[in-house]
Amino acid sequence: MDAKVIKQEGQTLKIVGTSPVRPDGTPKVTGLARYGADFALPGMLWGAILRSPHAHARIRAIDTSKARALPGVKAVITAEDFPEQKFEFVGPERVAVNFWHMTRNVMAREKVLYEGHAVAAVAATSKAIAEEALRLIEVDYEPLPHVIDVDAAMQPDAPLLFEDMITRGIDPPPGKPSNIAKRIEFNIGDLDAGFAAADEIVEMSFKTAPVHQGYIEPHACLARFDSNGQGELWSASQGHFVVRAFTARLLNMNIGDVLVHPAEIGGGFGGKTVIYVEPLAAALSRKSGHPVKIMMSREDVFKATGPTSGSSMTVRIGVKKDGTLVAADGVFKFQAGAFPGSPVMNATMCGFAPYDIPNVRSVGYDVVSNRPKSAAYRAPGSPISAFAVESVMDAVAARIGMDPLKFRLLNACKTGTPTVWGPKHAHDGYAETIKAVLAHPAYAAPLGKNQGRGVASGFWFNNGGESSATVHVNEDGTVVVATGSMDIGGSRASMAIMAAETLGIEYDDVRAIVADTASIGYTHVTGGSRVTFATGIAVVEACKKVIVELCARAAMIWKLEPGEVVWENGCAKPAGAAAGKFEPMPLKAVAAKRALTGGPIGAEASVNAGGAAPGFATELCDVEVDPETGSVKILRFVVAQDVGRAIHRSYVEGQLEGGVVQGIGWALNEAYIYDDAGHLLNAGFLDYRIPVASDLPMIETVLVEVPNPNHPYGVKGAGEVNIVPAMAAVANAINNAISRRLTDLPMSPPKVLAAIHSGRKG
């Protein structure tokens, strides 16, 4: 709550920027909120999933006869229950999906590709019978050699996950298959000339571990089917429209025949933008004729749902003595998991994006290996390349003897700076975050023994896209705002604030809800920090339509022309020639007369919002390193982020704090530990160490507000970029404390202690 706000320009707003009580708070605190696992129906069966014990194996045969014969078992499914999908990548390259892959990830076909890969599922009258049935399914596996690490997976003799996979993005295509699904390259300027002109060049290589999103709620859903083939799902996701589209596609149904109810969600961070249990529950329900519920365990979540990629990276940066960046080269190799589709393209785009560098090459490889398919995680890809780039930036600043923040400020991108992927930056905001940290008292605070300070910055695109909202004026003048955006970060509060502000009414008079897929227009996932921006625009647009209608109704009551009435401070008011003729009429009074003036008042707006503005963040971290154990304590952490405008202040602060905390976990402890057979050894929160509260200081947030002119209230999206600089900030702080450069995440105590013992200097 100690956030500092840096305002860029005045705009008199009454509710935007305050922190009213969140509408979803009480049900969550009192345990009444209904999450994915909280739904039940009469006649409901329990679904259970049989998972692969092998990291890599061919499925010779599956015999489900004994399971089907077990009393209480109502349906057993395997990949045969799902239609084959066409092999093609659909959608924009950065987020393309391939249903041939998706159906195989949801249910293994020819092969199992990771431990925990689903091979069959059953529905039975009790959980215990379902579990028993799984034990009766006989799968004949031919175990195959496996590969976990990304560099090992790229070796020419590595075991192949897909025997016919030819790397995309290389011209001419390679003659031999490999685990490299795709190569991408972006260039600007002349790289060789750039490095030739450099006074100093720093090159380093890095490795990062895949990390899980760590949401508290395991995936869960309930599915039911009508005898006419129409299905209904209750599931916790980051986008029920996407759940609907994917499930319909995998079951070969019309989208209109699937209805998805949004359950309350217990965290997602990107990991619930994809489906796992939904098509299985739906297929079991269709086959059995009963409602079917499936809940993952935490172990299932770790073994079979997406983390973000691990990586192997090399970054080289060239600089002039005066601090001007002249060239940068990055090679980013990302683990996609068992199917192509790591966020490496984002990584190649975001890594150098904060800087004005005339000569850049950024190369990415998307590499499959025998671990769960990666899924989106908070600014997917960007934190990984930022760890490498911002570590090298730190070393470059040290090499030329420049303050690391002033070095960044000197080279900071601004409106008009070219990007490696083509278009020029269209927004400012980065420099402002650097200045905010430079001016923060933490930057000048003294450090004690074994302590160190690090800074780092980051970039994230932020998205717009398709959103829908309706605004209905109730009989008593209160208002219901419905959107299609799953609320994972407090969007109901933000939508209510924007609606109240636009309509000129009280926050408490607006009720914001998330509508199901049949009750509102298509709305894309809650991801990419897009909801407050894009869905917010839809809400404001719908409110404006309602205002037009309210003015028309008032005009009708006053017998004026619609053009003679304006909306001001929540009231209709005669204007122009009619000004002063009548007392302003509040919304409640207009609502009371709705029946006489044409009936219910409401409006819907659907948008495909362009004009999203990127997020920039600059962070400062102080650490203390125990020189005898390698333990790193985070003493202080400051995050300055350009949020455009904070709609619900404390919610936005919470986003910044949360992103930083996840970044600290990524930096210090989180990793998947595999044995030699490719089995995951730490599929639980005991040994997969996300930070606990006592590991952390209060995160100090600075909300920098450089408004986005493309949003009615200046929103830029605040959910993601906060995680981007965090690992590099921690690594740079550790380097400052012990003069050792750690390049391999996580920077766990054994690694830090080994670095202290080694002669390697940063």
Partner 1 sequence: MNEILYETPQTLESAVALLAGASGQARVLAGGTDLLIQMRAGRVMPGLLVDIKGIPEMTAIVAESGGFRFGAAATCMELIEHEAFAKEWPGVTDAVKLIGSIQVKGRATVGGNLCNASPAADSVPALIAAGAVARIVGPGGKREARVEDIPVGPGKTSLADGEIVISFYLPPRSARSGDAYLRFTPRTEMDIAVVGAGVNLTLDETGICNQARVSLGAVAERALLVPEAAAALIGTKVDDDALQRLAAAASAACRPIADKRGTREFRIEVAGVLARRAAGIALDRARRNS
| Residues making contact with partner 1 (CB under 8 A) | 128-129, 132, 628-631, 668-669, 673, 681-682, 686-687, 689, 691-692, 694-695, 748-750, 753
Report how far apart, in Å, the C-alpha atoms of 482 and of each of 302, 314, 649 are: 34, 47, 22
Instruction: Work out the angle between the directed axes of helices 430-438 and 404-411 (0-180°, nearest 10).
Output: 160
Q: Which is nearer to partner 1, 70 or 96 (CB)?
A: 70
| CB-based contacts of 221, cutoff 8 Å, min separation 6 | 36, 233, 234, 235, 236, 263, 277, 278, 281, 293, 294
Q: Which is nearer to partner 1, 673 or 698 (CB)?
A: 673
Question: Residue 28 gets which letter from DSSP?
Answer: H
CB of 391 to partner 1, least distance (A): 22
411 sits in which H/E element: helix 404-411
Task: Output b/e per residue, 232-260; b: 16+ Cβ within 10 A.
Answer: bbbbbbbbbbbbbbbbbbbbebeeebbbb
Q: Which is nearer to partner 1, 132 or 190 (CB)?
A: 132
Q: What are phi and psi of 217, to 5 degrees?
A: -90, 120
CB of 89 to partner 1, least distance (A): 37
CB of 533 to partner 1, least distance (A): 36
CB of 736 to partner 1, least distance (A): 21
CB of 748 to partner 1, least distance (A): 6
Q: Which is nearer to partner 1, 287 or 633 (CB)?
A: 633
CB of 372 to partner 1, least distance (A): 18
Residue closest to 283 by CA, chosen among 99, 131, 63, 81: 81
CB of 237 to partner 1, least distance (A): 27
Indicate left, alpha or beta for 283 from its phi (over 0: left) and psi (-120 to 50: alpha): alpha
Q: Give dist(CA 667, CA 347) in Å, integer.
A: 17
Q: Which is nearer to partner 1, 352 or 674 (CB)?
A: 674
Q: Give dist(CA 67, CA 45) in Å, integer.
A: 15
Q: Which is nearer to partner 1, 414 or 679 (CB)?
A: 679
Q: How many CB atoms within 10 Å of residue 316?
A: 19
Q: Which is nearer to partner 1, 157 or 628 (CB)?
A: 628
Q: Which is nearer to partner 1, 228 or 758 (CB)?
A: 758
Report how far apart, in Å, the C-alpha atoms of 396 and of each of 97, 315, 325, 328 are: 38, 12, 10, 12
Q: Give dist(CA 89, CA 367) in Å, integer.
A: 16
**Amino acid, res. 619:** E
Furthest-apart CA atoms within the chain: distance in Å: 87
Task: Using DSSP bridges, classify how beta strands 180-188 and 73-77 pair: parallel, antiparallel or unpaired.
Answer: unpaired
Q: Which is nearer to partner 1, 4 or 633 (CB)?
A: 633
Sign of CA dihedral 111, 115, 166, 152: negative
Q: Which is nearer to partner 1, 124 or 729 (CB)?
A: 124
Task: Using DSSP bridges, classify how beta strands 220-225 and 292-295 pair: parallel, antiparallel or unpaired.
Answer: antiparallel
Q: Which is nearer to partner 1, 570 or 630 (CB)?
A: 630
Report how far apart, in Å, the C-alpha atoms of 19 and of each of 121, 471, 482, 525, 533 are: 46, 22, 20, 25, 18
Are 128 and 77 within 8 A, CB to CB?
Answer: no
CB of 65 to partner 1, least distance (A): 20
Distance in Å from the first CA to the final CA of the chain:
36
Alpha helices (H) in 137-277, listed in sequence order:
150-153, 191-196, 240-250
Q: Which residue has the tokens 């390193």?
A: 625
Q: Cα torsion at 479, 485, 487, 490 (round to 10°)?
A: -60
Residue closest to 665 by CA, chosen among 213, 298, 351: 213
CB of 129 to partner 1, least distance (A): 7
Q: Which is nearer to partner 1, 256 or 750 (CB)?
A: 750
Q: Which is nearer to partner 1, 430 or 637 (CB)?
A: 637
CB of 667 to partner 1, least distance (A): 12
Q: Give dist(CA 287, CA 75) in Å, integer.
A: 6
CB of 314 to partner 1, least distance (A): 26
Q: Which is nearer to partner 1, 204 or 696 (CB)?
A: 696
Residue closest to 699 by CA, chosen among 749, 662, 736: 662
CB of 310 to partner 1, least distance (A): 16
Q: Which is nearer to partner 1, 601 or 661 (CB)?
A: 661
Q: Give dist(CA 265, CA 487) in Å, integer.
A: 8
CB of 730 to partner 1, least distance (A): 14
Instruction: Work out the angle between the directed axes of helices 491-503 and 536-558 (0-180°, nearest 10).
Output: 30
Burial of 696 from C-beta contacts in 10 A (0-12 / 13-18 / 19+): middle
CB of 631 to partner 1, least distance (A): 7
CB of 628 to partner 1, least distance (A): 4
